[in-house]
Amino acid sequence: MLKRLWEVREEVRKRRPLIVNITNNVVTNFTANVLLSAGASPLMSEEIEEAEALAKIADAVVLNIGTLHVRQVRYCLKAGAQANLFGKPVIFDPVGVGATPFRDQTAQQILSKIEVSLIRGNYGEISFLAGAANEVTGVDNTSAETDADMLQRLAKDTGAVVAATGQTDYVTDGGAVFTNATGHILLQSVTGTGCALTSLAGAFMAVADDKKVGVLAALAFYGAAAEKAAEKAKDKRYHRENKRAGRK
């Protein structure tokens, strides 16, 4: 399996998929840089008039409802419909669903009107979409665990690959459930890491023959990068503390 995951990662670098992001204004720069660093090509858009033109050239279209407003809802629905028309994967990040009725209604609109290829969210968001009565506070995850059977049902009901990310990541298309344990707790302390992961999963999915394996490859790659970043941060902190103490 590790060989298959790495092959997907290399295919991203080779093909440089164009990922169109209709995302929240908190994370646009961070998301673009994550995609670039992985070898993908990011394009950020806020204009509904671009929907058809961008769907034609995109390898995947990401719909992220992090900073939700009425105009963005209209754009998400149009962009998703155009992506469906041209046979392009639609990636949905239901940021904060369960926190407000507006977000809940928007998520249901997208899932009922658009053929979504991937739903990626934290345990709380995914559990809410699956019908569980989890409490969601803002965009933060308050659920410490999730249920594999529930994820499989959501995947079957929506026809999408479902990825629930947390201490352990879960990926399913309604059949087998894959897990990923790479990652670091510091990801929870950096704004936009989940949103960027959604877009990265779109890039990996766009080049993979098996879509769920593509998503799993993205989660494993992202988590491994986080582990390396945390280790480097720890080393730098160690050297700074020793320098202050006068030690070499």
- Which residue type, as a one-letter code, is found at position 195? C
pLDDT at 106 over 90: yes
Tokens coding 160? 């999408």
- pTM over cut 0.85: yes
- 105 has pLDDT over 80: yes
Q: How many CB atoms lie within 10 A of CB 187?
A: 18
How does pLDDT run across 41-96, given as a tens digit for each residue?
999 999 999 999 999 999 999 999 999 999 999 999 999 999 999 999 999 999 99
pLDDT in tens, 173-231: 999 999 999 999 989 999 999 999 999 999 999 999 999 999 999 999 999 999 999 99
Using left for φ > 0, alpha for ψ between -120 and 50, and beta otherwise, residue 246 falls in left
Is the separation of the CB atoms in 133 and 108 below 8 Å?
A: no
* % of the chain with per-residue pLDDT over 70: 89
Query: What pLDDT does 135 receive?
Result: 53
pLDDT, greater one: 150 or 1: 150
Q: What is the pLDDT of residue 235?
A: 66
**Considering its fold, how many domains does the chain have in total?**
1
- Cα distances from 239 to residues 17, 27, 83, 186, in angstroms, run 39, 31, 49, 20
Question: Binning pLDDT at 50, 70 and 90, where does residue 232 land?
Answer: confident
Look up the domain containing 133 and give its range.
Answer: 2-244
- Is residue 59 a contact partner of residue 206, using CB atoms and an 8 Å limit? yes
Instruction: Give residue 248's pLDDT band: very low, low, confident or very high (50, 70, 90).
Output: very low
Burial 57-95 (b: 16+ CB within 10 A, else e): ebbbbbbbbbebeeebbebbbbbbbbbbeeebbbbbbbb
**CATH code, domain carrying 227:** 3.40.1190.20
pLDDT tens for residues 108-165? Answer: 999 999 999 999 999 999 999 999 865 565 555 445 568 899 999 999 999 999 999 9
**How many CB atoms within 10 Å of residue 18?**
19
Q: How far is CA 12 from the centre of its chain?
A: 16
Residue 51 to residue 58: CA distance in whole angstroms: 10
